Amino acid sequence: MSTSSLPPTPQARTAWLAEKSCWVREQTLKIHRHAPETRVASSLSVIELLTTLYYGEIAQCFPQSPLHPERDRIIISKGHGSICLYPILADLGFFPIAALDTVCKPGSFLGGIPDPIIPGYETINGSLGHGLGVATGISLALRTARKPQRAFVLLGDGELNEGAVWEAAMFAGHHKLDKLIAMVDCNGRSMLGYTKDILDLNPLETKFEAFGWEPYVVRDGHDIAQLQAGFETLLTSSSAKPKVLIAHTLKGKGVPSLESSPLAHVMGVPSSEIDTLLSNGGAA
């Protein structure tokens, strides 16, 4: 399936994207089953968001020509937590779907943390706090070159502890980079526990507003319709501001043992549990 498979009516599109998300979740768990080194919990929280971004005609991409000049730039700043992007990119045709079986295996190009040797990845991942600044530079460069493309950047909420994120937020707001779209996966948990107990980010929406951004809060980041509405609002906004989609999500979504643990980030899912989840029709 590809974006061309999207049904014509809005309701059917939403249902189609929800179904696609289920497939991505299954594939992500299968990857984790044979590559337990992957950070699965933070990958499970962004599945609906990335599915909507890539399949929902939000971002323009060219699977056969990943660095096509007319592509929207998609920067993945929370690299560890984007293993779910592997099945999406493979499904769209960035690389063969068979490669999904090779994650973390010797000779593969698909590692535990994605790097731009993977078609579809723009920048280095694995060190947090860099993506927003790089995306800001890309967005400013695109504007300087009078190019219309957007720069999307996916951030984790724990990553927002990094000071460099706010250097970039300040700069992007000041320069009114209206084609810069940040997406924050607010799954509420960092490595050692809940973000509210480590460094409380709230009120996050107000923080971004104060930095000159237009925020949109998605109350349920696993609800496709809400995500679609959020992107629609931000992409059609005429405000001369950078945009931020703050999506409240559940870390480890679909896997009960992860959903309930404050330490989900460092937890794996045993093969037997994955088998059970998959045999029950997939993790919802």
Binder to other proteins among 24, 29, 50, 142 (CB under 8 A)? Answer: 142
Radius of gyration of the chain (CA): 18
Position 154, amino acid: L
Q: What does 216-282 look like in DSSP terms, one character per residue? A: EEES-TT-HHHHHHHHHHHHH---SS-EEEEEE--TTTT-HHHHT-TTGGG----HHHHHHHHHTT-
Closer of 63 and 173 to other proteins (Cβ): 173
From 129-137, 188-196, 244-252, 260-268, span contacting other proteins (CB under 8 A): 129-137
Q: How far is the CB of 84 from other proteins (least distance, A)?
A: 18
Q: How far is the CB of 194 from other proteins (least distance, A)?
A: 27
Q: How far is the CB of 62 from other proteins (least distance, A)?
A: 16
Q: Examine residue 111 and tell whether it contacts other proteins (CB under 8 A).
A: yes
Helix, strand or coil, per DSSP, at residue 1 = coil
Binder to other proteins among 4, 11, 64, 107 (CB under 8 A)? Answer: 107
Longest dimension (CA), the chain: 53
Q: Examine residue 148 and tell whether it contacts other proteins (CB under 8 A).
A: no
Q: Examine residue 116 and tell whether it contacts other proteins (CB under 8 A).
A: yes
Q: Please, which residues bridge with residue 216 across strands?
A: 245
Position 57, amino acid: E
Residue given tokens 């499970």 in the structure block: 44
Closer of 115 and 223 to other proteins (Cβ): 115
Helix, strand or coil, per DSSP, at residue 194 = strand
Q: Examine residue 212 and tell whether it contacts other proteins (CB under 8 A).
A: no
What whole-number distance in Å separates Cα of residue 284 and Cα of residue 279?
12
Q: Examine residue 133 and tell whether it contacts other proteins (CB under 8 A).
A: yes
Q: Please, which residues bridge with residue 225 across strands?
A: none
Instruction: Say how many residues touch other proteins, by CB under 8 A.
Output: 37
Closer of 54 and 171 to other proteins (Cβ): 171
Tokens of 267: 């937890």
Binder to other proteins among 144, 238, 272, 280 (CB under 8 A)? Answer: 144
Binder to other proteins among 141, 210, 229, 240 (CB under 8 A)? Answer: 141
Q: Examine residue 98 and tell whether it contacts other proteins (CB under 8 A).
A: no
The three-point CA angle 185-16-246 to 5° equals: 15
From 19-27, 57-65, 132-140, 200-208, span contacting other proteins (CB under 8 A): 132-140
For other proteins, what does the binding mask look like between residues 151 and 180, x meaning CB under 8 A?
A: ------------xx--xx-xx---x-----
Q: Examine residue 106 and tell whether it contacts other proteins (CB under 8 A).
A: yes
For other proteins, the binding residues (CB under 8 A) are: 104-111, 115-117, 122-124, 126-127, 130, 132-142, 144-145, 163-164, 167-168, 170-171, 175
